[in-house]
Amino acid sequence: MRVGAILPQLTLEAGRSLRRVFLPYQINWILNPARLMLAEKSVRIGWTFADAFRNVRKRLLHPRRDYLFATKDYPTALEYVRTCFRFCELFNVARDIICHGEEYRRLPQFSGGRASGIMQEVKVGVITFSNRSRILAFSSNPNALRAYGGDVGLDEFAFHPAARELWAAASGRTTWGFDLAVWSSHNGPDTLFLQLARDAACGKGGWSYYRVAMPDAIEMGLVEKINQSSGASFTPEEFLEDCKNRARYPEVFEQEYLCHPGGAASSLVTWDKVEHCLDDFQIERLHLEESQVLEQAGGFDARTLAERERRIQQLLHNAFDRLWAKTGGYRLGFDVAASGHGDLSAVYVDRVEGDRLCLAALFTCRTQDWHFLKTAVAVFLRGLPELVACGDETGLGRQICWELAQEFPGVFVPVNFSREKNRLGFSLMNQLALARRRLPRNHPDIAADFMAIQKRHLNGRWTFHEGRNPLNPASHCDIAWAAALAGCAHEEAPASGAVFLD
């Protein structure tokens, strides 16, 4: 693809200082004066990086004009503010900053576009300049957008779970003469972002339109810039091959790097169905990386297994102390991924509440330590009352699940995930659609994991596939599939729901 075909005409001369830092497509975004801008783009090509400088520059040029940046989660929003501050230092304009950091704001909640009278506390990343312009960055919260006026930037818009509500709030800012910029990689064929991008590509909607896939970015010097900053020595061909390897699946590479939205696929359920499952309650949660497993449990040594198992039990009893004190029926799903660097192993514990399954505890880890995984699951199996559990016995989990089934007969049921995946997917889909699950609102990456499961109709049958969780990149729907296994355990439970361990 020719560069001129994917970039609008530059309207200002890019200075030498910008060319030292940015690539052509980034400079074009920075200097473009259009009120409406939309970019279909590959992941990891520095788009948000360029937008940070664009809006430092624009705030300094325009007094008393705020910029409202909305992204997938608050840590990403805060990183945007830090990037803005670094640009101020790099271009020697930090003296124009009055203050920067994090603030708590009490903002009204809106319903149907009107204030509901209920106030909500929101954390906001802020930079305030001496000319009274501000950059305010927050997670994808339509209420926060509605509370302010100013230019708006929507980062990775295709992955916002409440995209239509966010769009309604963002587009309303343009009514008062402010600018709106939207950029994202793709997330399937049924997103609002794709609809807007198709209109923009056809010249509809008044957009200044960009489309920069990874090969386009490489053509414009991305690999040379990465080599320069990191000390690597990739060739363009090696770098593109590395992107393919990291994508793992051809359809992921097509969508994430080549700007081709996935085929006839859609999320497991629509966001409004998941939203009906969200509630304000607390869960107990623990995540361990491989180094933390070694630190907390010690290394595997056949001579000291009893002591090691005692340490693992104590670790989990401390992390989930409220869980052991509660009574009632429990359902556990165990998704196995014995890897220190890849997918998560997940233990998902639901408490039975009438006809609903309420998430009570979530334990995730990344480790190749099979003894740790088996011992950890056994701690839950021994400690929870009226428990039924299911685990993924395929592949890496075969030996662990076989041993657990022998030790806990009638309580732990191995499931052939490869054979049963479609049944589990449909069951999970029905549970969410009927609001038979209760999920914590204050752990948005859990809901995002359910949304990341994609269903596709092919050759007359539905299949289920793992998409990207933008709020928890380590999980390839591992949390959601563990929940599906907990749901399977609920179906396996006796009618009385009473299963006790000796």
Q: How would you label 402-440 residue by residue, b for 16+ Cβ within 10 Å and e otherwise?
A: eebbeebeebbbbbebeebbeebbebbbebbbeebbbbb
Q: Among the ranges 171-175, 212-216, 301-305, which has the highest mean pLDDT value?
A: 212-216
Checking if the pLDDT of 333 tops 90, the result is: yes
pLDDT, mean of residues 26-45:
95
Question: Rounded CA gap, 502 and 488, in Å?
Answer: 23
Whether the pTM exceeds 0.85: the reply is: no
C-alpha 462, offset from chain centre: 24
Checking if the pLDDT of 122 tops 90, the result is: no
pLDDT at 261: 82
User: What's the angle, vertex CA 157, arms to CA 151 and CA 161, rounded to 5?
Assistant: 120
- Are 469 and 452 contacting, i.e. CB atoms less than 8 angstroms apart? yes
pLDDT at 390: 96
pLDDT at 316: 96
- Could you give the domains of the chain? 3-258 (3.40.50.300), 267-492 (3.30.420.240)
pLDDT at 502: 30
**Alpha-carbon distance values, 390 to 330, 377, 387, 413, 421 (Å):** 12, 11, 10, 5, 13
Lowest-pLDDT choice from 33-37, 186-190, 401-405, 421-425: 186-190
Q: Among the ranges 96-100, 285-289, 340-344, 493-497, which has the highest mean pLDDT value?
A: 285-289
- Are 211 and 41 contacting, i.e. CB atoms less than 8 angstroms apart? yes
Question: Rounded CA gap, 73 and 181, in Å?
Answer: 18
**Around 56, how many Cα atoms within 13 Å sit in the side-chain half-sphere?**
25
Which position has the token pair 């729907």?
477
Q: Which has more confidence, 492 or 14?
A: 492
With bands split at pLDDT 50, 70 and 90, how would you rate the model's confidence at 40? very high
DSSP class of 394: S
Checking if the pLDDT of 16 tops 70, the result is: no
Q: Which of 276, 364, 277, 357 is nearest to 320 (CA)?
A: 364
Burial environment of residue 284 by CB neighbours within 10 A (0 to 12, 13 to 18, 19 or more): middle
pLDDT at 457: 65
pLDDT at 175: 79
Q: Which has more confidence, 385 or 207?
A: 207
Distance between the two ends of the chain, CA-based, in angstroms? 68
Give the pLDDT confidence of 260-296 residue by residue, as tens digits: 886 545 778 887 788 889 999 999 999 999 999 999 9
Number of Cβ atoms within 10 Å of the Cβ of 337: 24
Strands 437-440 and 412-415: unpaired
pLDDT at 4: 37
- Are 344 and 478 contacting, i.e. CB atoms less than 8 angstroms apart? yes
Q: Which has more confidence, 226 or 266?
A: 226
Q: Which of 147, 141, 134 is nearest to 67 (CA)?
A: 134
Q: Which has more confidence, 252 or 125?
A: 125
Q: Strand, helix or coil at 204? A: coil
Checking if the pLDDT of 453 tops 60, the result is: yes
DSSP class of 119: E
Encoding tokens for residue 109? 């909640």
Encoding tokens for residue 474? 């380590």
Lowest-pLDDT choice from 53-67, 102-116, 345-359: 102-116
Checking if the pLDDT of 499 tops 90, the result is: no
Give the pLDDT confidence of 140-173 residue by residue, as tens digits: 777 778 788 899 999 999 988 788 889 988 988 8
Residue 420, amino acid: E
What does pLDDT average to over the chain? 86
Q: Which has more confidence, 1 or 247?
A: 247
